[in-house]
Structure formats: structure tokens, C-alpha cells
Structure 1
């Protein structure tokens, strides 16, 4: 059996997967009747992507907490029931996994930092170009070939501005790939 870390288990299962494992079917809004208190006429437990919260009794937690509360078990048992394996005395393997996790986390943080830097730089470039094109177009004869080329360039950069200012992360990533 392969060893899964807590983070790998959390990545493998959504909170919805876990509640459905116990026979609950969340509403479209993500609510189920709370199994942790009685008299729940209206579903009061909200199922989020990675955790849950009951708005009536206050029960909340992640997938491990839900399994612990449902099965009345400790964390270790909940961890094992979700695929985790405890191996006594294997500190070296644990240290290697922890180091690997840190390296991957640092790589994700570096990539995010690089993306934010690219976005800020690109946003400034597009804004400067738009201001410059506005100034140039004011001094050009309308409907000439040069004016139309400048207006087309302005329209293209206005679209880029909208993506950088209001677009989704996916749209911005696509734009970044085209820039490279």
C-alpha cells in the first residue's frame, strides 16, 4: 500500500466525496442535515470544497474531523481509513517526504511570485502603450492607413488591458504564454 501524506489525502478527496461516502447528498447550495446534532429540520451543515461547518451546532473541520466525528475515532484511525499509513520508526522517509513537500511548496510560491511580477510589469507596459497611442491618434489625420493601424493596435492593447485588469487567471496565463 502506498503511503499518503495528510496533504495528499486532502488533495485526493473533496469534502463532498467524504459526506457522500456516508450517504449524504448535498443540495445544490451544498447543505446536508447535520449528523452531529438532533432536530435538524432544515439542512444546516454546509459542505465546502475542503471543509464543513454546521450553522446550527457549530461543528466544523476538514475531512479528517468529519470521519473522526462520524466514526467516533481518533485522528490516526481516520487518517488510516482515508488511505494513510503509519510506519513506526521511519523518520528518514518522513524527513525526505517533508523536504520534498517543502521543495514543491517553494516552487509553487516562486511560480506564483513570477506570475505576479509578470502581470504587474505587463500591466504597466499596456497602460503606457495605451496612453501613447491615445496621444498619437489625437494628432493624426482620421481614417488614414497610419491612423487605422494605430487604432487597431490600441484596440488590441485595450483587450490586453481588460484581461490583465479583470480577466480570469486562466486568461492571464494564456496571455503570458503568448508573450513568451
Structure 2
């Protein structure tokens, strides 16, 4: 039952009677929320109000105060039930899992591609370093190898996420 169904099926008088409290002809009882000798808590059809301490509310608030529990527990004590969220959100849970797996798969593919790129770039760096060693310093071949070597080092820094100041 939901909140409104409980309110329609149980009156305030029914709930008070569950605690062994019986209103007089005028609908008053001694307030269970504070000490008193005269009846000051008025019971209405769907609510209550204490003229002594100011306590008021509906059947849920009455049960909350009598039992010292939260609204959720009072709701359950009065026969309420919460819908099974696992069935309602089954599709949403599957979609969330699907997106999580797709994202993980994409990250793995991106990491694999990045690893291949780093490996290829490392080979190019080694190639240009060897060309620098074999070429005559400041010759055209040496300058071209040096420029390509610097370019590959810069790309390698970018691949590893290193900050450069070049």
C-alpha cells in the first residue's frame, strides 16, 4: 500500500486505538507525548493536535512519535510497502553496465593504440639517433636527422603527457 491508501484505510481513531487510547465524547485523550492529568490531545478524523504541548500531525507522525522511529519505519509499521526498485531499474542497470563495459573497452583500445604509437616513436628516435652518430656533424644529412630526432622527442613527450617548453 502507498501513503494515500494507508490514510484512506486507517483513521486517526483506529491508530490511537492500537495503542490502547480511547478518546472521550469530545474526541480528547491525555497526550502521550507529555505528562498531564487532563485530556488535551484532540483526535480528528485524519489528524491530531495537542493543546498542551503543540504536538500535531497525521497517522504517520503519531506512530513516529509513539514508537520513536522515522517516517519510513512508521510507514512500514502501518502496512506500507515500497515498490521493488530492482525490477523497475533492471533495464537502467543493464544499460549502465553496458556503457561501463563499452567505456572500459574504449579505454583499453585507446591504451593499446597509444602503446603501439609509443613503441613506433621509440623506434624512430633510435633510428634518428643512429643517423646522427653516422652523419658528419652539421652536414645536410645530420641537420635533417637532428630535426627529425627533435620532432620525435617532442611527440614522445606529448604521448607520455610530459610538459615541454620547446
- In the superposition, the TM-score normalised over structure 2's length comes to 0.51
* Alpha-carbon distance, 1:84 to partner: 0.5
Distance 1:16 1:92, change over 3 A: same
Correspondence for 2:8 among 11, 21, 30? 11
The secondary structure found in structure 1 opposite 2:57 is strand
Confirm whether residue 59 of structure 1 aligns to residue 59 of structure 2. Answer: no
The secondary structure found in structure 1 opposite 2:48 is strand
State the alpha-carbon separation in 1 of the partners of residues 75 and 20 from structure 2: 20
* Alpha-carbon distance, 1:92 to partner: 5.2
CA deviations over 1:42-79 (Å, ceiling 9, x no partner): 10000000000000000000000000000000000000
Runs of 4+ in 1 over 6 A off after TM superposition: none
Structure 2 segments unaligned to the other structure (5+ residues): 90-166
Root mean square deviation of aligned Cα? 1.7
Distance 1:92 1:31, change over 3 A: same
Q: How does 1:1-180 map to 2 (within 5 A)?
A: 4-38=1-35, 40-89=36-85
Contact 2:41 2:48 (C-alpha < 8 Å) held by counterparts: yes
Aligned length: 89
State the alpha-carbon separation in 2 of the partners of residues 70 and 88 from structure 1: 28
Larger of the two Rg values belongs to structure: 2
The secondary structure found in structure 2 opposite 1:27 is coil
